[in-house]
Structure formats: C-alpha cells, structure tokens
Structure 1
C-alpha cells in the first residue's frame, strides 16, 4: 500500500511522535489529518505542514468527538491508515507513602486514556477503513503505540504499564479479528524518545537516560518513530506484530 494520495489520520498529531509521523506520510505523498486536543496547537501545526495536512480537534476518550475527527480524515478520499499516538501517564504506586491503597482514579484515568482510547481508535478507525475498496489486497492499516513499559514497567508505573501491556495484548487479536476486512494492525513500543515530555527534564537526567541505552547511546528521535510507522503502513505483509523501537534498552526497576 503506497502512501501517495492516501488519507491517514494521526492522533496526538500536533507534536512529538505524531507530528514526526505526519511529516513522513506527507513526504511519501500522503494526506494527513492531525487529531489532537482542542487546546493543542494542532491547527497552526497543520497550517505549517501545508495543503496535505488538516486538523480535527478531539478528546480521544470522547467517542463522539473521535468519530467526528475521523470523519474529517475519511472525507479526504476515504480513510486508509490510522496511527494512534495519543496517550499519557500519571505516576502512582499500589501503596502510597503512608501505606494506603493507591488512587483508583489515577489508575482509571490512564487506563481510559491509553487502553480504552486505543480501542476507540481500533473500532472507529476500522469501521471507516472497512468501507474502502481493496488496493493491492488490503483496505488499510492501523498502528497503535505501546511502550517498553509494557514489558519492563518501572516503580510508579502500575497504571501506565497495565495500559500499554493491554495494547500489546490487543494487537494480534485485532489483526486476526480484522483480517476478514483486509485491515492490518501493528503496534510500535518505543523506548526513551526525545519528545516534548522528555524535554522538560534536567540535562543531567536526560544524559543519564541516554547513557543507559546500549546502542546507539542516545534518546530516540521522533523521526525514527515516524520512519517506522510509514514503513509499517506500506509493508503489506507486516501484521499482528509489536515492534520495540528502543536501542536495545531493558528498563531498570527505577
């Protein structure tokens, strides 16, 4: 499936991994719809990317808003690809410093945003992709974003790790479930990427993170995520896989 002329929706598209993916898709001749929060700089970012980009504001936990945003992408010649990058974390522990049970609200917030949001992406995205006529034996592809925390969650990541492990667990099932519709599903599990979130850290903390990565000993670049995402969209035999993009890091407990 060549991206030239095809419509791809990208959640979290106003910055970081989503924005880098959008640039890669545009470079390949595709049309992108950036889906991000109404409070984001999504419209300005889309304007900066040129005529190949549009913006649709949505909170991905709001199914109606998400549907409307995906319809914007679908109206641009029919949705063929969805790269779901939106998500977040919120530190919590099973027991707090006083030995009391951790916040159920903090657990549910991250599960709703990351895991339920990914199901919204799968189901609503697939509904629209399934309407398209097959091209080269497929109708389209969906990419979800997990994390190395799905495998090596650190202390304070009980909610985040659970949400990302759930995404990994959904990947093969989703690929099998949507096979009859000729829709592929894959997941990228990034490690420590140089995103706006990590940019808030002190230089010494960033340097320590980079030094902990075996090879290359640096933070991952968002463009490397975008490059992989674009390749997955175009590779019609890649299906049901979760690919780690992490420089061979295996996270320590802290």
Structure 2
C-alpha cells in the first residue's frame, strides 16, 4: 500500500501504470471507513490490477457547517483497515487546497433535473459539490472503473450522468448496500449514533421491507401515507422524506407502469444524525 498527499506524485505513478496497461479501479471515500467501504475496495480489486482509494472530506457538498464540523475524522484507523486488506492499493489523502487549488468553491452542474429530486430538495448545492469533487478526482486518478455504493443511489445516478455529459472515460459500477446485523445501512454517520438510536434505526430498513411488500397491491400514495403515520409515533426517529420514484429519472411515481423499475427512498433523523436508505421495489 502506498500513500499520496499530492496529486502530482499520484499522477506520476498512475501514468506509469497506464503505460503498463494496468486496469485501475477507484473508490472515492470521505473516510471513517467501515465494512461497506471495504466491500467496494474488495470488489474493485477483484476486477482491477490496482485500486486507488481517496480519503477526503469534501467541504463543498455539505449544506450545513455543523455537519461538516461533526463528520468523523479517523485517518489513522482508515489506513490501518486498508493495509489489513493486503491488496494492491494506492491511497490518496489530499487536503482541500491541493484539490481545489486554493479556491474552495463548487462548479455548477446540469444533471437533467435529477439533482432537484429528493436529496436535492433538502440539501441545497449538495450535488454541485459532489459533481465538482468527483470530476476533479476522476481527472486526477483516470480510472477505468469507479465503484460506488447503492446506499447513495441518487448520488450514483448523478455520477453516471456526470460521466455521460462530460464524456469522462470511466465505467461507474454500482455496488450492493452493505447492512449491519439489524438491517441498518452501513454509513460513516452511524458512528455518531448513541447505542439506543443505532438499535432503533433498524426501523428504517423494516419500513422499506414492508413498503416493498405493499407495492404489489397498494398505490405509491397509499404507501407514502402509511410510512408517514408509522414515523409519527416513533420515539427516536423523525421522518424527513419518503419517496417512491422511477429508478432512472428519480421522478416521484404517480401511477405505476408495468416494466418500469422503481425504488423507495427514505431520509430520517435519529437525534441530530441524518440517515438515508433505499430499496428496489418489486413491480
């Protein structure tokens, strides 16, 4: 495992790898690594010669200063976890000035409207920040494949749109959501949950499973109303949104159409920790 803080040094190694026809996989992270991240690295290693893992907390994708301030920073343990994998890994740990060339601002992107759905409604400018940093990282790393978890499914679709619109020669690979033993989707934010909150947060997964069962016989509107009522009586969780949307356009479903893929998306707060999850629905 090699560690790089400067993009120039990393690019020199990548250039040599490219000349040697090596296949490069890329897993961008914001650190606080967990089994979900490690599963992405392992999947990348299965199909690529070398895996680049970036660890960078991107300031331009946070809509709240408090969220950025409270985001877990665990670089030493992150590096230990990656080292224990014993894989061919290059780790990129730049600071903001290095990546943004001293001007820490987000570029504006047009993602054909999917940036205004769900997360976009509640996190102003979030996907401009995501697009900015992913584009920068893709241009530095020049990967053949980039691996992203489906927990952030809207982000995954945003990044696919980014590569299409900007003609970036990267194949974006979506990877299955990794869950804790109680069903809670693995997330770096989970580390901020109190024990009781973490236990009760499994309710989110239970709701998604029940919504999936209901989807065969009930309308999207009926299911959404049911979800809201379920959360109203929950002592630990506060629902921010629940949406059933077209998996491709991310538009909220009015009337179901046969053969169209749909997903249920949810965001909820456990205390001051915001949790998101989603699930493909049977149709």
- Pick the TM interval, shorter chain: 0.3 to 0.5
Larger relative contact order (C-alpha < 8 A, sep ≥ 6)? 1
Q: More strand by proportion, 1 or 2?
A: 2
Report the structure number with the largest CA radius of gyration. 2
Given the two structures, how large is their TM-score scaled by the length of structure 2?
0.39
